[in-house]
Amino acid sequence: MPSKTWGNNMVIFTKHAKDKFEVLRRHGFLVSKDQVLRTLKNPEFTDRSRYPLLITQKQVSRKYVLRVVFSRKYDIIKVITFYPKLIK
What pLDDT sits at residue 42? 96
Judged against a pLDDT cut of 60, whether residue 2 lies above it is answered with no
Give bridge partners of residue 86 from the DSSP assignment.
Answer: 64
* Helix (H/G/I), strand (E/B), else coil: 54: strand
What pLDDT sits at residue 3? 63
Rounded Cα distance between 81 and 50, Å, is 14
Amino acid at site 80: I
Count the neighbouring beta carbons within 10 Å of the beta carbon of residue 79: 23
Express each pLDDT in 28-78 by its tens digit: 999 999 999 999 999 999 999 999 999 999 999 999 999 999 999 999 999
- Identify the sign of the CA torsion 81, 2, 51, 49: negative
pTM assigned to the model:
0.91
Domains of the chain with bracketed CATH:
4-86 (3.30.2310)
